[in-house]
Amino acid sequence: MFGSLYFSEVAGYVPCVYCWYQRILMYPLVAILTVGLLRRDKGLAAYVLPFSLLGIGVSTYHYLLQKTQLFDSSAVCQVGVPCTSIWINWFDFVTIPFLALTAFLIITGLTLIALQAGEPDSSEPVPGGRVWLPVVAAILLGLVIVGVYGLLNRPTATVQTFSELSVVETAAQHATSANLPANLDGAALYQSACAVCHGQEMEGVAGLGSALQRNETISRQSDDELLTFIRQGLAANHPTNASGVSMPPSAGQPNLTDAEILAVVQHLRTNQAIN
C-alpha cells in the first residue's frame, strides 16, 4: 500500500485503470488483516481470499498486457494513462503490476497456510492492552519513510533545466533522422505511445501531459537531445515540468527503438512547421 502511494503521490506516476482495480482489491486487506489478526477471527481466510485471488487475476492480466502480445489493442484501457505504460522496469521484468502480483501471491500463500493450520484460533483470548500501538507505529513509520524519501529525491534549484540535459555522446550508435527506415510511421507511433497523455492533435491533456503544438523546446533541441530526454523521462517535481505529472522513461514503452523514437521526433517537428 505504501509502495503504490509513493509511486502515485511522491513519484507522480499516474495510476491506470487496472492499477486502480488492484488498489481497490489491495487496500481493504490492510484493515481486514489488521482487525482479523488482532481479534484472532477464525473466519479471516474467508474475508481475505476473495480479494487476494481476484488481485492475482487482475495483476497477472495487467502484467501480460505490459510484457506480451497475447491480447489485442482493444483489451487495453483507453481512458487516462494507457495500461501498457511501464513506469518502472527494474531488472527488465519488475513492473508495478508485478509488484502487486507478488504481494497478492504472498498474502494468498500465507492465508492458505494459516487456513490449513487452523489459525488464527478464535478460542484463544483476544490480546488486550495497547495492542494497537505497534500497528499505529508501523503506519507512522511507513509514512515517515515515504515522506523523507520524497524530500531527499526532490530536485533543487540547481538541477539542470531541460535545455541543459546532457546528451548521449554515442550518437553514432543511434539511428539518425537522416537514415530512418522508410517503413517507420512517426504519426502512428505517436498515436500509440504519446497521444493518450499529449492529445491526438498534440493539444495536451489536462492532468496528464503538456501541449506539444508550437513547442519551443522541440524546435530548439536537436534530435539527439530529444531522444535522450524521452529515454530519461521527467519527474513530476522537476523544475521544468509544468504538468505536475511524471513522464515515464521512453514514454512508458521501453521496447521502442531509437529509430522509432526518432520517427516520433520527426513527426513532432513536422507538426511544429505546420503550426
**Do 148 and 90 belong together in one domain?**
yes
Find the domain containing 20 and state its range.
2-152
User: Could you say which of 123, 152, 181 is where a domain stops?
Assistant: 152
Rounded Cα distance between 93 and 110, Å, is: 24
What three-state secondary structure class fits 131? coil
Domain shared by 146 and 19, yes or no: yes
State how many domains the chain has.
Answer: 2
Which residue has better confidence, 37 or 72?
A: 37
pLDDT of residue 197: 76
Residue 138 lies in a domain: yes
181 and 148 co-located in one domain: no
pTM over 0.75: no
47 close to 36: Cβ distance less than 8 angstroms = yes
| 179 and 140 within one domain | no
pLDDT at 173: 39
Q: Which of 152, 185, 210 is the last residue of a domain?
A: 152
Instruction: Please tell me whether residues 23 and 110 are part of one structural domain.
Output: yes
44-50: long-range contacts at Cβ-Cβ below 8 A with a sequence spacing of 24 or more? 44/111, 44/114, 44/120, 45/111, 45/112, 45/114, 45/115, 48/107, 48/111, 49/108, 49/111, 49/112
How do residues 72-124 score in pLDDT, each as one tens digit? 656 566 556 778 878 888 888 889 999 999 999 999 999 999 888 888 877 76
Supply the DSSP symbol for 166.
P
Cell, residue 256: 521502442
The three grid cell numbers given for residue 127, joined into one nine-digit string: 490480546
Model confidence pLDDT, tens digit, residues 201-260: 888 777 677 788 777 778 788 888 888 888 888 776 677 777 667 787 877 777 778 888
* Same domain assignment for residues 178 and 144: no
